[in-house]
Structure 1
Amino acid sequence: MKFIALTNAGGVENLQLQAMEIPEPAADEVLIRVYAAGINRPDIMQRQGLYPPPADASPILGLEVSGEIVACGAEVNDWNVGDKVCALVNGGGYAEYALAPATQCLPIPESFSYVQAAALPETFFTVWHNLFQRAQLKAGEIVLIHGGSSGIGTVAIQLARAFGAKVFATAGSADKCEAIESLGATAIHYRDQDFVAVIKEKTQGQGVNVILDMVGGDYIQRNFSAAAKDGRIVNIAFLQGSKTQVDFMPLMLKRLTFTGSTLRAQSAQSKALIANELKQKVWPFLENKTIEPVIDSVFPFAQVAAAHTRMESSEHVGKIILDFTLQ
């Protein structure tokens, strides 16, 4: 099979198309013929040498795929050869065939293309775990989503609204703010507006119940200011850095919960639980098209360097996808 090898940590020139033997599934795995794969920020960090894969994971980049199951391990009972699935993989997604734990596979929603399906696993697992399992977002609450035009952001907006929350989201351009508004959120242009001031004005000084942050840096202190009493703040990335000076007094005075997580390092049991909840509670919204992934751009498999460059530009709105059927 063909796959994208990372020859050295660094720039996109280190992503090289190579060939290797097709892997065989372990007892609890399925082998997927990959038709599309998602590009995610952790892929960029792994390429740069900043996010090494776990010891038991594939060194090949790629954390989400869609395609058709072509082989099942001996202990797999819930899937069959020929089933069309999307899957959260433990690495190995940038390849014509990828292994996935059977419990991390989900059926492709009715009428979804492989490209649309490849946009689902990483973002939906991440958003569900952080907004709903960790932050316990409830109907009637107010949530602030930073990076609202990203793949994570566009999914978080739609899921929060589908479950009855009011949504504010930040972005850095007029076009991105327009995209956010089209999804039903109130956009805050962070280059022109102070999101803390906007939140306090729009909530009559009360603040927001939940904040999903991928920025970090000085946003950490500002999130404390924007949060309501008993608010929950979840960090899933630190694009502006994980080290900053913070006054934690608001954490006590407002009784805030400040937490964070990464998805890849979680146990197979944790990921299986997320997958089960997604299938039961979220997949119906996808089936009836209440929620749809926002696709920014699609690149042929061999143009992975261009796809990474697009993500690093931060100009994208929604997901960037590799299509293995394009030349």
Structure 2
Amino acid sequence: MRAITIPEDDVLALADVEAPVAGPGQVVIDVAAAGVNRADVMQRKGFYPPPKGASPLPGLEVSGTISALGEGVSDWAVGDDVCALIDGGGYAEQVLAPAAQVLPVPTGVSLRDAAGLPEVACTVWSNVFLTANLRPGQTLLVHGGSSGIGTMAIQLAKAAGARVIVTAGTEEKLQFCRDLGADVAINYREQDFVEEVQAATDGAGADVILDNMGAKYLPRNVAALAINGRLVVIGLMGGRKGELDLGALLTKRAAVIATSLRARPAEEKATIVAAVREHVWPLIEQGAVRPIIHSTHPLAEAAAAHEEMESSTHIGKILLVP
């Protein structure tokens, strides 16, 4: 089969590789589309190696049709249209997926567009709801509101009855976030998000912050937190080392939590996927939540898809189509 490989750091190359064979508890999926994520960009640059035992090929989510079942798989059948959260290998014509990390394509979503759901749905549900326990009536601040994760976070938080504040860098992105349901949209290039959050919450602050910046935003995120607030760091676009004012954290009885999805044990991922199927899939099938697809690229043009992601001009998800 054809797949995108990383023969050396910062290089993506289309190559012929061995097709996958399903082992116990696995399925083979003929890929219809693969989602592009920041983690893939970091892997290409040599900063985010795959976990032990995972495919060395990039790609953490796909949609497609099951073409083979491994021993012990009974919940799926050959010919099923599915999408899946995977440990790697999605930039290919075929991919292995643990059966417990496979999801049906939601009613009303195309097979192609379903590739933009697993990673963002699992990331947002696990971090915002399972870890940070966002409740109805609370306020969520999402940095990068127009990203794939951001657009999913807005929709799920609004569906849960929360108030949503987002940051983004252009008026087009801010308006898109408003149209998705964001209550307050802040241009981080022109406005101080701490001041804007305080103003929007009558000085109370955000109950939950979903942050993709890391060190650069750490002090200001703590300042923007409410009493008993939870800051969840899921990215390091602004650096990995910052100064944390423990006094401010103690005063607010707040928490700073750093998480990743890819390196979690298979059992944890299976639990997250099951929760997403139970809580998120019905919202998608009701039309309350939808995948936001910005663009698609042929598999052979994966480098162009990465360039688009790194330019940060996109709104929603970028997909690769074999």
Deviations 1:256-275 (A, max 9, x none): 01101000110111011111
Are 1:306 and 2:304 an aligned pair?
yes
Are 1:69 and 2:47 an aligned pair?
no
**Secondary structure in structure 2 of the residue aligned to 1:302:** helix
**Secondary structure in structure 2 of the residue aligned to 1:251:** helix
Q: Determine if contact 2:218/2:243 at 8 Å carries over to the other structure.
A: no
Alignment of 1:126-141 (within 5 A): 126-141=123-138
Question: Which residue of 14, 18, 33 corresponds with 2:30?
Answer: 33
- Structure 1 unaligned segments of length 5 or more: list them: none
Matches of 2:42 and 2:273 in 1, distance apart? 25
Alignment of 1:226-305 (within 5 A): 226-305=224-303
Give the Å deviation of 1:212: 0.4
Deviations 1:118-161 (A, max 9, x none): 00011111111100011000111111000101111000111111
Q: Determine if contact 2:207/2:229 at 8 Å carries over to the other structure.
A: yes
Give the Å deviation of 1:243: 0.8
Matches of 2:258 and 2:153 in 1, distance apart? 16
Query: Could you tell me which residue of structure 2 aligns to residue 3 of structure 1?
Result: 3
What root-mean-square deviation, in Å, do the aligned CA atoms of Structure 1 and Structure 2 show?
Answer: 0.8
Matches of 1:240 and 1:304 in 2, distance apart? 24
**Secondary structure in structure 1 of the residue aligned to 2:215:** coil
Give the Å deviation of 1:56: 0.4
Give the Å deviation of 1:217: 2.3
Give the Å deviation of 1:237: 0.5
**Secondary structure in structure 1 of the residue aligned to 2:112:** helix
Give the Å deviation of 1:92: 0.5
**Secondary structure in structure 1 of the residue aligned to 2:320:** strand
Question: Which residue of 297, 305, 319 corresponds with 1:321?
Answer: 319
Matches of 1:239 and 1:150 in 2, distance apart? 13
Give the Å deviation of 1:61: 0.6
Matches of 1:4 and 1:202 in 2, distance apart? 45
Deviations 1:210-251 (A, max 9, x none): 100001223111111111100111000010101122322111
Give the Å deviation of 1:111: 2.5
Matches of 1:31 and 1:218 in 2, distance apart? 41
Deviations 1:279-322 (A, max 9, x none): 11110111121101111111111111110100011111110001
Aligned positions, number: 321
Matches of 2:160 and 2:223 in 1, distance apart? 25
Matches of 1:74 and 1:270 in 2, distance apart? 21
| Amino acid corresponding to residue 57 of structure 1 in structure 2 | A
Matches of 2:126 and 2:108 in 1, distance apart? 26
| Amino acid corresponding to residue 207 of structure 2 in structure 1 | N
Are 1:23 and 2:20 an aligned pair?
yes
TM-score by length of 2: 0.98
Alignment of 1:165-244 (within 5 A): 165-185=162-182, 186-244=184-242
Give the Å deviation of 1:22: 1.3
TM-score by length of 1: 0.97
Matches of 1:17 and 1:241 in 2, distance apart? 31
Q: Determine if contact 2:105/2:114 at 8 Å carries over to the other structure.
A: yes
**Secondary structure in structure 2 of the residue aligned to 1:218:** helix
Alignment of 1:116-135 (within 5 A): 116-135=113-132
Give the Å deviation of 1:21: 2.3
Are 1:163 and 2:160 an aligned pair?
yes
Query: Could you tell me which residue of structure 1 aligns to residue 141 of structure 2?
Result: 144
**Higher mean Cα deviation, 106-115 or 26-35?**
106-115
Give the Å deviation of 1:114: 2.1
Give the Å deviation of 1:16: 1.2
**Secondary structure in structure 1 of the residue aligned to 2:63:** strand
Give the Å deviation of 1:196: 0.6
Moved over 3 A (4+): none
Matches of 1:116 and 1:178 in 2, distance apart? 22
Query: Could you tell me which residue of structure 1 aligns to residue 93 of structure 2?
Result: 96
